[in-house]
Amino acid sequence: MTSAETKVAVVGAGIMGSGIAQASAMAGYATTLVDIDPSQLEKARHAIEVSLSRFVKAERFSPDAASSIMESIAFERELAKGGAGAGVVVEAVPELLELKQRVLTAATAHCAADALLATNASQLSISSIASALGQFEPRLVGLHFFNPPVIMKLVELVCGLRTSADAVERGKAFASSLGKEVVVCRKDTPGFITTRAYVALRLECIRILEEGLASASDIDKALKLGFNLPMGPLELGDFNGLDTNLHVMEGLERAYGDRFRPPPVLRAMVAANMLGRKTGQGFYQYDTEGNKLGESETHA
């Protein structure tokens, strides 16, 4: 699989989708980012432009190279246009089973006949998503990218019960072509490897905060310095969206029981629209550019 021969369509222009599209374009693929919401597409365009400007500032790219990468990304509202002829389709819509099934089923009508189909699901069953795809079921793999996709080196490849060996190899090749390291989750189990382990860690950090044992910043500092993490679990929760965190925890609770039960404080924060950076307040407070201002005062 080469970037010169393959068009990539990324469906869903949220934080993950825009980042995956940028990573694809940076690897030389002609990339289309698809979302039915025009305002979301504009947010994604702005986020990619800001990200590329940081690469230029860090002298990772020249201004001309960054401009060329930006030009290689098309932004489309219609899947029929954005997915037409795509050799790789990566679905990155919210973690809702029926929505993911609907998007991927629609994509099969427009992409290349032998296209690799991938879902960026972080905890939903790949087999369940694939069950709606009929004859295309063996071509679906889980490609779980990490946030931010342009920086994080890991991609977790997840096999469904009927994922073909060819799809697994093509998924590995595609992720590797983006400069990623690939690990394979051989069994389709809720939470895969990383989500299952990291959610358990984040849950315990939230419980420590809820019990008043330490502040959010000290909990994050302890985990960053003690375990060499690039970002503390609470700050990363804000970065990804606490509503997303809650949804994932609820899915794991259904699969594994009380050990993944979301703490009451998290439910309360989501109910109060304290969702993290995207709403300006979560475990921390943020300005309109997403810069952290300090800890929230109302969550404990």
Give the model confidence (pLDDT) of 273-297 as tens digits. 999 999 999 999 999 888 899 998 7
Overall CATH class of domain 194-295: mainly alpha
Percent of the chain with pLDDT over 90: 85
Distance, CA of 10 to CA of 33 (rounded, Å): 5
Domain with CATH 3.40.50.720 in the chain: 7-185
Q: Is 185 left (phi over 0), alpha (psi -120 to 50) or beta?
A: beta
pLDDT digits (tens, 9 = 90+) for 183-239: 999 988 888 898 899 999 999 999 999 999 999 999 999 999 999 998 999 999 999
Say which CATH superfamily domain 7-185 falls into.
NAD(P)-binding Rossmann-like Domain (3.40.50.720)
pTM, two decimals, is: 0.82
Q: What angle do CA 190, 195, 199 make, to 5 degrees?
A: 110
The packing angle between helices 194-210 and 264-271, to 10°, is: 90
Kindly give, in sequence order, each residue whose CB lies less than 8 Å from that of residue 111, ignoring residues fewer than 6 positions away. Answer: 9, 83, 84, 85, 86, 87, 89, 117
C-alpha closest to that of 35 among 19, 12, 56, 68: 12
Q: Rg (Cα) of the chain, in Å, rounded?
A: 19
Distance, CA of 190 to CA of 254 (rounded, Å): 10
Outline where DSSP puts E strands in 146-273: 154-158, 181-185
Mean pLDDT of all residues in 21-42: 97
Distance, CA of 184 to CA of 196 (rounded, Å): 14
- Residue of higher predicted confidence among 1 and 56: 56
Kindly report the average pLDDT of the chain as a whole number.
Answer: 94
Outline where DSSP puts E strands in 35-169: 73-76, 88-91, 116-119, 140-145, 154-158
Which two tokens mark 153? 């080196």
Mean pLDDT of all residues in 170-184: 97
Between the alpha carbon of residue 43 and those of residues 47, 50, 110, 134, 199, the distances in Å are: 6, 11, 25, 34, 28
pLDDT digits (tens, 9 = 90+) for 85-141: 999 999 999 888 999 999 999 999 999 999 999 999 987 889 999 999 999 999 999
Domain with CATH 1.10.1040.10 in the chain: 194-295
**Hey, how many other C-beta atoms are within 10 angstroms of the C-beta on 98?**
9
pLDDT confidence of residue 3: 61
Specify whether the CB–CB gap between 124 and 251 falls below 8 A.
Answer: yes
Mean pLDDT of all residues in 20-30: 97
Percent of the chain with pLDDT over 70: 97
Q: What angle do CA 50, 55, 58 make, to 5 degrees?
A: 125
Residue 173: φ, ψ to 5°: -65, -40
pLDDT confidence of residue 144: 95
pLDDT confidence of residue 240: 87
- pLDDT tier at 10, thresholds 50, 70, 90: very high
Mean pLDDT of all residues in 159-168: 96
- pLDDT tier at 2, thresholds 50, 70, 90: low
